[in-house]
Amino acid sequence: MSDITPAVCMAKSVKKTSEPQKVSISKTQKMRKKSEQFKYDYINYEWWSNFNDDILKSYIDKAIKKNYSLKMATIAVDEYYQVVKINFGNELPMAGIGFAPALVKQPGFTNTNSSFAVPALVNYEADIFLKNHDKTKMAKKDYEKALQDERTAYITIASAVGATYLNIVKLDKMIELQEQIVADRKVIYDLMLLRNKEGLTSTSDTVKANKAYIAGQTSLTEYKKQRNILLNKLCVVIGESPEKSAEIERISYDNLNFSGVIPKEISTEVIVQRPDYITAEKMIEKAGIDVRVAKKEFLPTINLTGVALFMNSDFGSIFTTKGALAALAGAINLPLFTGGKRIANLRLKKATYQRLLNNYYQTNLTAIQEINDSLTTIAHDDKKYEDTKLQSELERKDFGLSSSKYEQGIISKLDLTQLRENVLSTDKLVADQKINCLVDYITLYKAVGSQL
């Protein structure tokens, strides 16, 4: 275990000290298609080596590859990328071409004439006020948000795998110790039953021993139930069927060892890299652009349209100048009365911006609180764990002295068996608090966005 003292986040407010290198979304998508390394970067995969457990890392790797929630998060990023491309397409001219063969019979004539027409149309909304360009930028902010949502999903799933796995390991140890307690209580009950028949123990004490034995079995059943539930959960998180829960391997509690170093303080530079913080920031940027677009709705729309038509009764001569027609037109459209919709829309966007700005400030405070809470919990739980280990050592020492007394015939086997439960009970506390400390480390890992 790490030697940890109470610690706090170094920040009261958050300011970015440096801007990350910007990469175009098209390049980002190409990199994502080329390699899945970004998924491992999301969760700081190497940090999990601190648990010195290859089985745990293999389950995290399985979750990355097979968890359906993570697959959906990745697909959502691809969806938002296509939305960006759609919006970018609105900034470009639209062109189309057709082919229209026709048979024409005029009134009063007996013959039928054939004709062929090839119309071509080009339309372009002149984006001189950059309204369509701003809409593309808004779509890019949604894409950037989707990236952070994806990152959040990966960190959350990795944390869930780690915490669930460790709690299963804890329950393995709890069941092992509880089985020993139940076995001892059965011995105690049998001995007291014999002593009761000989008149050496009261019926009341015998009944109490029986009650303790049954209570121990109930606790053992509860531990097994909790373990089965967690095994089912772990299967689902790593993308397996719960039917395979019996095949879940795990490390022995006694071999579990965390060798990492937990920091005593967390810098604000870590806080600003949290995915929820970046998401809140991107949503403010999008809302600002949204307000700008709402203002531009009051400006006129300028459309340019070009038409070319080739028509001829002879298909082979259709693209000659004879029968060709070309036209270019422009139009300016300015809505004069829309029932107050544009004004209401602008006020709505401004209100949304203010709401998201306050959410940004709240996210800042929440991030600091969560990290401080994690550091405080780690400090106190680690202290409890050390104290409980000392208590366990003293109980074991006391039991050793009692064993000597038993060998000397000073105390009975019944007395010695009853005293052994104190050792087993403190061992259960040690196991519980050791795993709690390890889960606390995972909670801090999650709170800092995996940046430990």
SS3 at position 26: helix
Q: What tokens appear for 289 in the block?
A: 């652009």
CATH number of 164-299+336-447: 1.20.1600.10
Q: What tokens appear for 181 in the block?
A: 């307690």
Q: How confident is the model at residue 334 (pLDDT cuts 50, 70, 90)?
A: confident
pLDDT digits (tens, 9 = 90+) for 81-90: 999 999 999 8
- 10 Å CB burial of residue 320 (0-12, 13-18, 19+) is exposed
- Which residues sit opposite 117 in a β-bridge? 100, 311
Task: Answer positive or negative: Cα dihedral of 331, 336, 338, 341.
Answer: positive
pLDDT digits (tens, 9 = 90+) for 408-429: 889 988 889 989 999 999 999 9
What is the reported pLDDT for 17? 36
DSSP character string of 308-349: EEEEESSGGGTTSSTTEEEEEEEEEE--S--TTHHHHHHHHH
pLDDT digits (tens, 9 = 90+) for 284-293: 999 999 999 9
Cα–Cα distance between 220 and 209 in angstroms, integer? Answer: 17
CB 182 within 8 A of CB 213: yes
Cβ atoms within 10 A of the Cβ of 447, count?
A: 27
User: What residue spans define the domains of the chain?
Assistant: 93-126+300-333, 164-299+336-447
Q: How confident is the model at residue 15 (pLDDT cuts 50, 70, 90)?
A: very low
User: Among candidates 429, 425, 423, 424, which has minimal Cα distance to 398?
Assistant: 423
Q: How confident is the model at residue 21 (pLDDT cuts 50, 70, 90)?
A: low
| Of the options 3.40.50.720, 2.30.42.10, 1.10.357.10, 2.20.200.10, the CATH number for the domain spanning 93-126+300-333 | 2.20.200.10
For tokens 């389950």, what's the residue? 59
pLDDT digits (tens, 9 = 90+) for 106-123: 676 667 777 778 888 999
Cα–Cα distance between 66 and 310 in angstroms, integer? Answer: 56
The model's pTM: 0.87
Q: Taking residues 200-218, report their average pLDDT.
A: 93
What is the reported pLDDT for 4? 38
